[in-house]
Amino acid sequence: MIRVLVVSDIHHACAAERARAGFEERAAPGPVSRRLLRAYRRYVWLDDPMAHNHRLPEIVSREPNPDLVVGNGDFTLDTAFVGISDDAAFQSARESLGLLRKTYGERLLANAGDHELGKKSFVGGAGGLRRASLVRCEADLGIPVVWSRPVGRWHFVGVASTVAAWPMYEGETPENEREWWRGRHAECHRDLEATFAAIPIAAPIVFFCHDPSALPYVRKLPAIAARLPDIRATIIGHLHTPLVLAVARALAGCPSIGWLGNSVRRYTSALGKAACWKEFRVVLCPSPAGIQLLKDGGYLTMAFDETATGAIEIQRHRLPW
């Protein structure tokens, strides 16, 4: 039996990022939006997103010897909203990845999340994607856009969801970078198709994609569509809590809303195409902290027989507050 540890949405904050306390409120356009954001943070999402650095070491202490480890994106808090092109965000990602690599070595497989690459702030429209963030992610953090790893008869495949779903982020990309991102998006899809096409017929697949918004985009690729029956699970992050996943499933197919700001546009656009998530057999890896409202953070473990093509056992582990 192979045992796999999955962590996602670590959102580590190095000292330089912790010095930017209140970063989201400063991006808000006025006092009303700042008060609403503060209330949302305090009672629903996370009162202090910088207060949870201790959770990754706790996971490592609990899980000293898995056969494989997957870090499914968002290693940094991204307080400048431009991904790891910002030196402080880069240092946060390097510290959290450094702990995982020191502990697990070559057993670690890493996926890029949206906060590694940059995205506009929840309110105020600060930041966005940056070419330098993707370049740094690949060259300095060693995280490829597409990766695969055979595990006995099984195959693990990962993709950087922001690159796979780049058309959804085009409006958040500087105009002088859009052609470059368009090319990387096309390259990502070609590499992903080639990766799936190279996997033996009927071999079981576990797919890792940080943001499920990318799934409708990759569903259109013939090589992926043909292998949907072989995908035993698609491990996502991004949503932080099973509550958000449940709401997203209930709202699948809703129309896109473009007049309430960029974040609402992005979320509703993703939900409008979310019906295909079921085909991918989506399983959420929660963030280590979860959310303030439920205090439901944790991580996943998976277990399967590498010599067989049967079921995979996935277990969620809670972390106490």
DSSP letters, 79-109, are: TTSSGGGSHHHHHHHHHHHHHHHHHHGGGEE
- Residue 255 pLDDT class (50, 70, 90 cuts): confident
What pairs with residue 109 in β-bridges? Answer: 70
3-state secondary structure 121-149: CCCCCCECCCHHHHHHHHHCCCCCCEEEE
Residue 254, pLDDT > 80, answer: no
Instruction: Find the range with the poorest average confidence among 137-141, 203-207, 285-289, 307-311.
Output: 307-311
For residue 155, give the 3-state DSSP assignment: strand
- Spatial separation of the C-alpha atoms in residues 28 and 68, rounded to whole Å: 41
Domain 2-318 top-level CATH class: alpha beta
Instruction: Quote the pLDDT of residue 262.
Output: 58
For residue 182, give the 3-state DSSP assignment: helix
- Spatial separation of the C-alpha atoms in residues 13 and 46, rounded to whole Å: 14
pLDDT per residue as tens digits for the range 260-294: 555 566 666 777 788 899 999 999 999 999 999 99
Select from 193, 179, 168 the least CA-distant residue to 272. Answer: 168
User: How many Cα atoms are found within 13 Å in the side-chain-facing hemisphere of 89?
Assistant: 27
Instruction: Quote the pLDDT of residue 271.
Output: 77
- Spatial separation of the C-alpha atoms in residues 118 and 126, rounded to whole Å: 10
- Spatial separation of the C-alpha atoms in residues 256 and 70, rounded to whole Å: 32
Instruction: Quote the pLDDT of residue 253.
Output: 75
Domain boundaries, the chain: 2-318
pLDDT per residue as tens digits for the range 141-195: 999 999 999 999 999 999 999 999 999 999 999 999 999 999 999 999 999 999 9
Average pLDDT, the chain: 95
Contacts of 34 (CB under 8 A, 6+ apart): 25, 28
For residue 234, give the 3-state DSSP assignment: strand
172: part of which helix (H) or strand (E)?
none
Instruction: Quote the pLDDT of residue 202.
Output: 95
pTM metric for this prediction: 0.95
Distances from the Cα of 269 to the Cα of 162, 165, 171, angstroms: 14, 11, 13
Tokens of 320: 């106490």
Distances from the Cα of 159 to the Cα of 30, 68, 162, angstroms: 37, 17, 9
Region 195-216 average pLDDT:
97
